[in-house]
Amino acid sequence: MKKLIFILLAIVLFLPGSLAAQEDDSLTEKIKERLQETAEEGLDSIKDELINQSNSPRKKAFIGKIKSIEDSLITLEYKDQTKQIEVNDDTDYSKTSFEDLEVDDFTIAMGFLYPDEEILQTHRLSFITDPQPPVSRQLITGKVKEVDGNQIAVDGKTLTITSKTDFSIKDIDEADTEDLELEDNLFAIVTLDKNGDIDLVKTVLVLPGKNNPASQEPTNAEATESAEATESAEEE
């Protein structure tokens, strides 16, 4: 009898705790399942958004010189790359029209580029100034080999002196090409055109050589004669 009572007491004491533990485990499992569902829903939402973005047209702009016009399809070229744009009745030509477009016009096209397509659907087309490459400069040095008017031969090159040239010869005020002598030492800064030829002679500095009187210092006798002449002129 005592043994039976002991067993009943044990059941009464331990049964509520066991049930509570089972309830806690069940609640934890449900929370995990809900979190997992929420995470999966979030990932699916992000995935759908990325897919929608990848399928949406992107805003783009192409610039270049018109190389060809075939109906509504225009080919642009810039820096050895070609792009194609397509115009339609809704295209804004910004103070011009489709009929005014000509080959070699430099334009900027703005519109939308659709996925898996390389042709820009143009909403706006404008004329712009053709970007000029940076000016290339070069230093030319050497001895004067020939002077012909405003042209000077130096180091196998011919320099043309213009009104835009800053021309100077050491120790000579308001110098020009008539003050040059063969074998004078010349330093020139020039700009080059796109073909690498001389476009403009910007600056010329000449250091007189042995043939140029400007390089010769007066002798003592000359200096004395000059001083005496000055004194004589002052006395008179």
In a domain, 172, yes or no: yes
CA distance linking residue 30 with residue 206, whole number of Å: 94
CA 155 to chain centre: 34
* Terminal alpha carbon distance of the chain: 163
Considering the domain architecture, whether residues 122 and 149 belong to the same structural domain is answered as no
In this model, does residue 158 exceed pLDDT 80?
yes
In a domain, 228, yes or no: no
Closest CA to 183 of 162, 203, 204, 212: 212
Considering the domain architecture, whether residues 97 and 158 belong to the same structural domain is answered as no
In a domain, 234, yes or no: no
Over residues 156-182, mean pLDDT: 93
- Structural domain harbouring 196: 136-215
Closest CA to 186 of 164, 168, 213, 210: 168
Considering the domain architecture, whether residues 123 and 182 belong to the same structural domain is answered as no
CA distance linking residue 233 with residue 75, whole number of Å: 81
In this model, does residue 1 exceed pLDDT 80?
no
In a domain, 3, yes or no: no
Closest CA to 72 of 95, 88, 55: 88
Share of the chain above pLDDT 90, in %: 46
Range list of H helices, the chain: 2-55, 220-235
In a domain, 152, yes or no: yes
pLDDT band for position 114 (cuts 50, 70, 90): confident
Q: Which of 107-116, 162-171, 198-207, 223-232 has the lowest mean pLDDT?
A: 223-232
CA distance linking residue 214 with residue 171, whole number of Å: 7
CA distance linking residue 78 with residue 131, whole number of Å: 10
Considering the domain architecture, whether residues 172 and 205 belong to the same structural domain is answered as yes
Considering the domain architecture, whether residues 150 and 204 belong to the same structural domain is answered as yes
pLDDT band for position 53 (cuts 50, 70, 90): low
In a domain, 29, yes or no: no
Tokens describing residue 115: 């996925």
CA 17 to chain centre: 76
In a domain, 224, yes or no: no
Do the Cβ atoms of 35 and 43 come closer than 8 Å? Answer: no
pLDDT band for position 233 (cuts 50, 70, 90): very low
Which of 127, 150, 181 lies at the terminal end of a domain, its last residue?
127
Considering the domain architecture, whether residues 73 and 94 belong to the same structural domain is answered as yes
| Number of domains, the chain | 2
- Strands of the 151-154 sheet, one edge to the other: 157-160, 151-154, 136-148, 185-192, 198-207, 166-169
In a domain, 65, yes or no: yes
Q: Look up the CATH number of the domain holding residue 176.
A: 2.40.50.320
Q: Look up the CATH number of the domain holding residue 76.
A: 2.40.50.140
Q: How many other C-beta atoms lie within 10 A of the C-beta of residue 74?
A: 27
In this model, does residue 163 exceed pLDDT 70?
yes
- Report the pLDDT value the prediction gives residue 221, as an integer from 0 to 100: 44
Closest CA to 124 of 75, 82, 90, 100: 90
In this model, does residue 44 exceed pLDDT 80?
no
Which of 127, 156, 184 lies at the terminal end of a domain, its last residue?
127
Considering the domain architecture, whether residues 150 and 110 belong to the same structural domain is answered as no
Which of 82, 97, 127 lies at the terminal end of a domain, its last residue?
127
